[in-house]
Amino acid sequence: MSTLKGNAVIGQSGGPTAVINQSLVGCVEGLRTCDAIEKIYGAHHAVRGIVDGDLIDLTDVSAERLERIAQTPSSALGSSRDKPDEEYCRNICQSFEKLNIRYFFYIGGNDSSDTCRIVNEVAKSQGYELRAYHIPKTIDNDLEENDHTPGYGSAARFVACALMGDALDNKALPGIKVDVIMGRHAGFLTAASSLARTSDDDGPHLIYVPEVAFDIDRFIADVDRVFSRLGRCVIATSEGIHDADGTAIAAKLAADVEKDAHGNVQLSGSGALGDYLSQLIKDRLGKKLRVRADTFGYLQRSFAGCVSEVDQREARAAGRRAADLAIDGSDEGSIAIRRTSNDPYQVSYDRIELSDVAAKTRTLPLEYIVDGCDIAPSFREYALPLVGPLPIIEHF
């Protein structure tokens, strides 16, 4: 069997992660094994770079430099929030034809896999032979068919380490603390705050995820109950918590609601939700209370120097696997990471259909959510192997 001849392009889309460059480098390493592939390009700022012909030539970048790129957080090629429609995708295919690109790899979340799917369909409908692969990436951990996604382990590690320190800070100087964590629809990242606990009464004491409607009276009663018992209370909440009608609490607070190309309301990059909950607690439970709020913001996804080694390794392997499959002649798909064993922890990298993952959202299984305000201990078994060994905590 002769391998499809031509050039390759790789793009990185959506929010950066601490390990998205591992997937890029894994893919480049795979493509380099194939003589039929002449040029390997990186798309500068994702689909926009493809359409504009703004490409970074990765063909001859040294292995040492690639390794440094792999270790660097955020998207080295630049990213984009563009949501390509069919016309945009036809422009992408025109660029492919012009540059003789036969291999297309798109590293991203569910929106990015949908872009990959549309580009693939347009190419097929035009009789243009193309290998189109989506490589999973999202700190939200919300891709269907995956046990977990590259990017999640490192972001979850950041959240766990942050809560470990913050819960101890709150114990040292007692009060009520609200920590707002990324996650629009899926509570996986916020649930990782529960990994911070090492003994009874450790914070976070209350955890709120978007899978359950957020009720203000219930919330205040929860805080009051914990604070009355311990004299302190650490709350971890997803930025995406919403009322029973599905309206995000954060969206109600913004004077000018900002939406991206995907119609998503801006949740991150503002302390408004944390400050609102903080004020609410003071108004309802006492003006004199020491109430503080921190919004972890963009630090969660691209902090340098707090990365999960398992996450790094898997992100690299997912990129490599996509390249290998495409070279072997599989013309389209996405990579799903599946856990084959938990002790010892082992995963497989399976090819799935683009349509299995495109534009779908997986949420935190309800079995992990306790009374709408906590995460079950069983979540630790799921998440800890992804996060890696956590710092040692000792109490008096």
Q: Which residues are catalytic?
A: 140
Minimum CB distance to its own copies, residue 359 (Å): 20
What tokens does 120 get? 């693939």
Output the CA–CA distances (angstroms, integers) from residue 164 to 205, 290, 297, 389, 393, in the order listed.
12, 20, 17, 13, 8
Closer of 163 and 373 to its own copies (Cβ): 163
The SS3 of residue 373 is: coil
For its own copies, the binding residues (CB under 8 A) are 12, 15-16, 18, 42, 56, 65, 68-69, 71-81, 157, 161-162, 164-166, 168-169, 171-173, 177, 256, 268-272, 274-275, 278, 287, 291-299, 301-306, 390-396
Minimum CB distance to its own copies, residue 114 (Å): 19
Minimum CB distance to its own copies, residue 25 (Å): 10
Minimum CB distance to its own copies, residue 152 (Å): 16
Minimum CB distance to its own copies, residue 211 (Å): 25
Spatial distance between the Cα atoms of 22 and 370, rounded to a whole number of angstroms: 35
Closer of 169 and 350 to its own copies (Cβ): 169
Spatial distance between the Cα atoms of 385 and 308, rounded to a whole number of angstroms: 9
Spatial distance between the Cα atoms of 374 and 365, rounded to a whole number of angstroms: 13
What tokens does 335 get? 């990579």
Closer of 98 and 395 to its own copies (Cβ): 395
Q: C-alpha dihedral over 312, 158, 273, 170, to 10 degrees?
A: 170
Minimum CB distance to its own copies, residue 346 (Å): 25
Give buried/exposed letters for 7-32 (b at 16+ CB in 10 A, else e): bbbbbbbbbbbbbbbbbbbbbbbbbb
Write a three-state SS string for 279-302.
HHHHHHHCCCCCEEEEECCCHHHH
Minimum CB distance to its own copies, residue 125 (Å): 31
Spatial distance between the Cα atoms of 148 and 153, rounded to a whole number of angstroms: 8
Closer of 32 and 81 to its own copies (Cβ): 81
Cβ-contact 336, 352 below 8 angstroms: yes
Closer of 123 and 167 to its own copies (Cβ): 167
Closer of 217 and 394 to its own copies (Cβ): 394
Write a three-state SS string for 29-97.
HHHCCCCCEEEEEEECCHHHHHHHCCEEECCCCCHHHHHHHHHCCCCCCCCCCCCCCHHHHHHHHHHHH
End-to-end CA distance of the chain: 67
Closer of 28 and 212 to its own copies (Cβ): 28
Spatial distance between the Cα atoms of 118 and 89, rounded to a whole number of angstroms: 7
**Nearest residue to 194 via CA among 57, 51, 380:** 380
